[in-house]
């Protein structure tokens, strides 16, 4: 049986891999799964998309597939991925789907399928969708049982729900000056408006929805944000926020134009929420900074570490009744709001923290426990997971303390190094962290040396 889905949904080049025929069959397969599970129920699925050029074409094909099976569809139009996850709960649907390729270049697109609670589809249900897709065993509704299609707005209720979760009065008192770059993506319809309604002074750039992503690559990393970093500093803003194409992640620039690593903004949220709730469970991945562990110790919290992947973190939050979750790339998950990374909710919470603390953004970052990180990657063909497993074997022989939750993580007294195969690219990533820059580089070199030993063998 063939495989379609990766860690969360499927992605590829639009009209090559992700064609209208492909989307139609996914819709029919997903609809058939829902019909089999609840044959007598009137079933509804909510669908949304990001701003990509191919999005409308693929959305209409996916909708046609669902309607043909007898599934009713709510078309929420262009909206951030977390807004569609929110819509599943808000409209009380039986599932959802998002047409997006997140931070990938404009020629890509993809499909994510959602449970009724907005969480990504369970693996066992994904497997059934794949079987139905390849066998083409689709349910066909009678002519008078074909699903109905309705259009509904989710942006307004999504913004209102976020506003209700933060201290708007505190924000309005401080009136933060925020510059936003929504990468011509789905966040363009939410973030500038949300911030203005919260009482911020807002300057927005690249906020015209455009699926060509003319201004920059939609991945909000330091390399792609050089121009934006200069804008934030030159405008003398309190801070800047940049999002990816589907607005599930937000990254921050301080008032001096410095790029802030994702796990530091995650740490700001963790610190505030542990203080507000007098402890709680934080769920994060094996690759996230140990700043989180230190903050949990300081504020009576606990930390659960998972494999890398926002879907894995979201599931663990649900299973263990977690307070907040996140990853090192800046994705923060607020499980009482949306069971997935939410860029807009992250910004609202950070703005609230900024307003209440009364300090500069750079000062808030300086107050966090001090850790230094270095990262590199190696392009490697072949069985990368087997290579990483061999690194673990050598490390064990050398009597190093290891954690193999996801890849090989070697733990030292004051830091760690993680050697991990990418799930989406032919590379092995090496992350190291320590209490000093010198130590972090030493640990990175230990990881590289062990990896080279395996590659030379």
For the chain, 457 residues long, give each residue's pLDDT as a single digit of tens. 689 998 899 999 999 999 999 999 999 999 999 999 999 999 999 999 999 999 999 999 999 999 999 999 999 999 999 999 999 999 999 999 999 999 999 999 999 999 999 999 999 999 999 999 999 999 999 999 999 999 999 999 999 999 999 999 999 999 999 999 999 999 999 999 999 999 999 999 999 999 999 999 999 999 999 999 999 999 999 999 999 999 999 999 999 999 999 999 999 999 999 999 999 999 999 999 999 999 999 999 999 999 999 999 999 999 999 999 999 888 999 999 999 999 999 999 999 999 999 999 999 999 999 999 999 999 998 899 999 999 999 999 999 999 999 999 999 999 999 999 987 789 999 999 999 999 999 999 999 999 999 998 7
Answer yes or no: do 61 and 166 share one domain: no
Question: Of the listed 102, 204, 250, 289, which one is catalytic?
Answer: 102
Same-domain pairing of 345 and 401: no
Is residue 101 a contact partner of residue 112, using CB atoms and an 8 Å limit? no
Q: The CATH number of the domain where 127 resides is what?
A: 3.40.120.10
Both 237 and 309 in one domain: the answer is no
Are residues 208 and 164 part of one domain? yes
Task: Pick the last residue of a domain from 245, 260, 275.
Answer: 260
H helical segments located in 321-436: 343-357, 361-366, 384-397
Please state, in angstroms and rounded to a whole number, the distance separating the CA atoms of residues 345 and 217: 23
* 5: in domain: no
Of 328, 347, 366, the residue that ends a domain is 366
SS3 357: helix
236, 256 contact by CB (below 8 A):
no
Domain that includes residue 386, residue range: 372-456
Q: Which of 307, 311, 274, 312 is nearest to 420 (CA)?
A: 307
289 shares its domain with 410: no
Residue 329 in domain: yes
Is residue 321 domain-resident?
A: yes
How long, in residues, is the chain?
A: 457
How far apart CA 194 and CA 163 sit, in angstroms, is: 8
For residue 3, is it within any domain? no
- 141 exposed, middle or buried (CB, 10 Å; 0-12, 13-18, 19+)? middle
Residues 307, 405, 279, 366: is their CA dihedral positive or negative?
negative
Structural domain count, the chain: 4
178 and 101 in a common domain: no
14 in the same domain as 137: yes
Both 302 and 427 in a single domain?
Answer: no
Same domain, 200 and 313: no
Is 188 in the active site?
Answer: no
End-of-domain residue from the set 337, 366, 395: 366
The answer to whether residue 2 is domain-embedded is: no
Q: What is the pLDDT of residue 423?
A: 76
């Amino acid at each position: 049986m063939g495989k379609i889905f990766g860690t969360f949904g499927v992605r590829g080049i639009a009209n090559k891999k992700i064609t209208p025929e492909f989307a139609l069959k996914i819709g029919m397969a997903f609809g058939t799964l829902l019909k089999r599970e609840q044959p007598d129920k009137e079933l509804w699925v909510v669908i949304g998309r990001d701003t990509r050029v191919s999005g409308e074409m693929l959305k209409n094909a996916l909708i046609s597939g669902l309607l043909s099976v007898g599934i009713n569809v709510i078309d929420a139009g262009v909206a951030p991925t977390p807004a569609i996850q929110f819509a599943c709960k808000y409209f009380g649907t039986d599932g959802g789907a998002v047409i997006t390729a997140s931070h990938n270049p404009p020629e890509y697109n993809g499909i994510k399928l959602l449970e009724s609670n907005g969480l990504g589809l369970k693996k066992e249900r994904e497997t059934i969708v794949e079987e139905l897709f390849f066998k083409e065993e689709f349910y066909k509704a009678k002519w008078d049982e074909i699903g109905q299609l309705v259009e509904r707005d989710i942006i307004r209720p999504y913004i209102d729900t976020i506003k209700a979760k933060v201290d708007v009065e505190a924000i309005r008192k401080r009136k933060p000056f925020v510059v936003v770059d929504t990468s011509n993506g789905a966040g363009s319809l939410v973030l500038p408006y949300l911030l203005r309604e919260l009482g911020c002074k807002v300057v927005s750039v690249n906020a015209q929805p455009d699926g060509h992503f003319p201004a920059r690559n939609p991945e909000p990393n330091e390399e792609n944000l050089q121009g934006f970093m200069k804008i934030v500093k030159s405008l003398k803003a309190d801070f800047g926020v940049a999002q990816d194409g589907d607005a599930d992640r937000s990254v921050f620039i301080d008032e001096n134009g410095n790029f802030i690593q994702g796990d530091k903004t995650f740490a700001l949220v963790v610190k505030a929420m542990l203080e507000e709730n007098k402890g709680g469970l934080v769920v994060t991945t094996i690759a996230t900074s140990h700043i989180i562990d230190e903050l949990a110790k300081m504020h009576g919290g606990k930390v659960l570490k998972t494999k890398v992947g926002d879907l894995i973190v979201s599931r663990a939050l649900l299973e263990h009744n977690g307070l907040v979750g996140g990853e090192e790339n800046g994705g923060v998950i607020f499980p009482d709001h949306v069971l997935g990374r939410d860029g807009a909710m992250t910004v609202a919470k950070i703005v609230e923290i900024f307003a209440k603390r009364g300090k500069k953004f750079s000062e808030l970052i300086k107050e966090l426990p001090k850790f230094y990180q270095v990262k590199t990657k190696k392009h490697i063909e072949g069985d990368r997971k087997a290579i990483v497993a061999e690194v673990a074997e050598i490390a064990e022989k050398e009597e190093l303390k290891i954690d193999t939750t996801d890849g090989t993580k070697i733990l030292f007294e004051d830091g760690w190094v993680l050697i991990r195969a990418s799930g989406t690219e032919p590379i092995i990533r090496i992350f190291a962290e320590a209490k000093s820059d010198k130590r972090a580089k030493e640990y990175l070199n230990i990881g590289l040396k062990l990896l080279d030993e395996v590659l030379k063998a």
